[in-house]
Amino acid sequence: MFLDFVIVLIKAGVVLFALLNLAGLLTWAERKQSAIMQDRIGPNRANLGKVTALGLFHVMADGIKMIAKEDFIPEGANRVLHTLAPAAALFPALVVFAVIPFGDVLVIGGKEIPLQVANLNVGIVYIFAIASLAVYGTMLAGWASNNNYSLLGGLRASSQMISYEVSMGLSILGILMVYESAQLDVIVREQGKLLLGFLPQWGILMQPVAFVLFLAAAIAENKRTPFDLPEGESEIIGYFVEYSSMKFGMFFLAEFVEIIIVSGLVTTLFFGGWQFPYLQADGFHWPFEAGVWHLPHLLVVLIRVATFTIKVLLGCWILLVVRWTLPRFRYDQVMRLGWKMMLPLALVNLLVTAVIVLLVQ
Q: Name the DSSP letter for residue 69.
A: S
45: pLDDT strictly greater than 90: no
pLDDT at 187: 96
Burial class (CB in 10 A: 0-12, 13-18, 19+), 233: exposed
pLDDT of amino acid 168: 94
User: Which residue range is the domain that position 177 belongs to?
Assistant: 2-360
The string of pLDDT tens digits covering residues 274-304 is: 999 999 988 898 887 778 889 999 999 999 9
**Predicted confidence band of residue 233 (pLDDT cuts 50, 70, 90):** low
Residue 198 has pLDDT above 90, yes or no: no
Q: How many domains does the chain have?
A: 1
Say which range, 9-18, 228-237, 293-302, has the weakest mean pLDDT: 228-237
Average pLDDT of the chain to the nearest whole number = 91
Average pLDDT over residues 339-353: 96
Helix axes 148-179, 245-270, angle to 10 degrees: 20
pLDDT of amino acid 175: 95
| Longest CA span, the chain | 72
How far is CA 276 from each of CA 117, 188, 212, 284, 308, rounded to the nearest angstrom?
Answer: 21, 11, 22, 9, 9
pLDDT tens-digit profile of 64-76?
Answer: 999 999 888 888 8
